[in-house]
Amino acid sequence: MLEHMTSMAGIEQVLREASMRVTQPRVAVLAAVTANPHADTETIISAVHEGHPNVSHQAVYDSLKLFTNLGVIRQIQPQGHIARYESRVGDNHHHVVCRQCGNLEDVDCSVGASPCLHASNDHGFKIDEAEVIYWGLCPECQALDN
């Protein structure tokens, strides 16, 4: 789905495919999420207001909730951090988070032996996603510590 969200026409297509009405606030919010991977709500609101100052905060919040519920975007909230949003969905990628500055980056896939990605007991759940978060220090914070 991410490849469709590189143009306004693509964003509108994604909204239609998710059976949503195409509205200016929805297009603006989805464009902001796409242009600002791993952005928090305030960053998304600021990005939306750059081109559409009349879009309300509530419209942004409502759109983010709707998009997340429909699987158009993904909400990420590592422990101790505020919620962030990304338009990369459906590929079960993971994230690495800096313990010091909070920088968050995508990690395409776990490599090597990854038994934790398959639940030893699914308790009857139909599991469709495994969330892995790697923690450490980003290169910038490592340089500050030296």
**Nearest-angstrom CA–CA distance, 56 and 146:** 45
Tell me whether residue 109 is annotated as binding: no
Q: CA-CA distance, 146 to 138, in Å (whole number)?
A: 13
User: Does 141 show up as a binding residue in the annotation?
Assistant: yes
Q: Are strands 39-40 and 133-136 parallel, antiparallel or unpaired?
A: unpaired
Secondary structure (DSSP) of 24-85: HHHHHHHHHHHHSTTEEHHHHHHHHHHH-TTS-HHHHHHHHHHHHHHTSSEEE--TTS--EE
**Binding site annotation covers 98?**
yes
- Could you tell me the CA-to-CA distances from 119 to 25, 50, 96, 109, 113 in Å, in that order? 40, 44, 21, 17, 14
Annotation: binding site for Zn(2+)? 98, 101, 138, 141
Annotation: binding site? 98, 101, 138, 141
